[in-house]
Amino acid sequence: MNTKIINLESVDSTNEFLKRENLSPITVVTAKIQTQGKGRRGKRWISHSDKGLYISFLFPVPEKIPNIQIISISTATAVAKVLNEFKSEFLIKWPNDILIKGKKICGILPELTKEKLIIGIGINLYHSEKELQGTETPATSLAIEKIEVPREKITNFIIEAVKNSFFKTANGKFDLSDYEKIALIKQNTHVEIKEETGTVSGIALGIDREGFLIVEINGKIKRVFSGDVSVRV
Ligand code: BTN
């Protein structure tokens, strides 16, 4: 399948751009600046000019995937593996945040409509500490971590890695052990799950093939879907 790459100077959000434009998969869009960068759960994504990689992929909607959670976990795994080529300290916080030394450096926003599967990825490349102030979870950038990577190099690596991981996962071939090797929440990690009704503590047992986090809470096994909760390690 051919890949079309669109590099924009400025856009509201690369995800929104792919949603409203009539483009066919695979299309990849990047922007130097997003004026309304979106995070998960209605949050904003800091998108200063030339500071981050703001990139979204339009993929064909796979027939067999039960939910997009596993695609977003496999995408996080692919992106973390690219980052680990530069410094092998990046971990995935379930379901799809990438952290270094406990600080968030990358977020992923998958969006599924009837006709479109869009995966948006934001990586903090060159932000200063000041520019990342005010985020809900402590954030960092490659520059703050003293990891020097040219934008073009990382962009090309990410495009290749994310495409490969998408097709592997869409064909049911995502290897969960790839995720487990770099997961922050491992078997027996103590987690706190913030639900609408309050916070509960439990012990993580791992994730299942659909990307649910399996947690033992007071002797009972619960499958946790990221849409419902936030997890603190
Ligand atoms: C998160 O909250 O962790 C997800 C952040 C996703 C940010 C990326 S940047 C490119 C794409 N366009 C957006 O508006 N959001 C995603």
Nearest CA to ligand 1 atom 2: 39
Q: Which residue has the tokens 């410094």?
A: 87
User: Separation of 122 CA from ligand 1 center, angstroms?
Assistant: 5
Question: What does DSSP assign to residue 67?
Answer: -
Ligand 1 neighbour 57 (Cβ under 6 A): no
pLDDT at 132 over 90: yes
Residue 74 identity:
S
Q: Which residues contact 97 (CB under 8 A, 6 or more apart)?
A: 76, 104, 106, 107, 108, 137
Please work out whether the CB of residue 34 comes within 6 Å of at least one atom of ligand 1.
yes
Q: Is the pLDDT of residue 233 over 80?
A: no
Are the C-beta atoms of residues 105 and 83 closer than 8 Å to each other?
yes
pLDDT band at 145 (very low <50, low <70, confident <90, very high): very high
Beta-ladder partners of 93:
97
User: Largest Cα–Cα distance of the chain, in whole Å?
Assistant: 53
Q: Does the CB atom of residue 38 touch ligand 1 within 6 A?
A: yes
Confidence of residue 189 (pLDDT cuts 50, 70, 90): very high
| Whole-Å CA distances, 197 to 192, 217, 228, 229 | 13, 15, 11, 10
54 CA to middle of ligand 1, Å? 7
The full set of domain ranges for the chain reads: 4-181, 190-232
CATH for 4-181 is: 3.30.930.10
Strand partners, 99: 91, 104
* pTM for the model: 0.95
C-beta of 182 in contact with ligand 1 (< 6 A) = no
CA 1 from centre of chain: 23
Look up residue 145 and give its amino acid: E
Structure tokens at 69: 């959670």
pLDDT in tens, 192-215: 998 888 889 999 999 999 999 999
Q: What is the pLDDT of residues 34-49, one digit of tens each?
A: 999 999 988 999 999 9
Classify domain 190-232 at the CATH topology level.
Answer: SH3 type barrels. (2.30.30)
> Considering the chain, what is the average pLDDT of its residues?
94
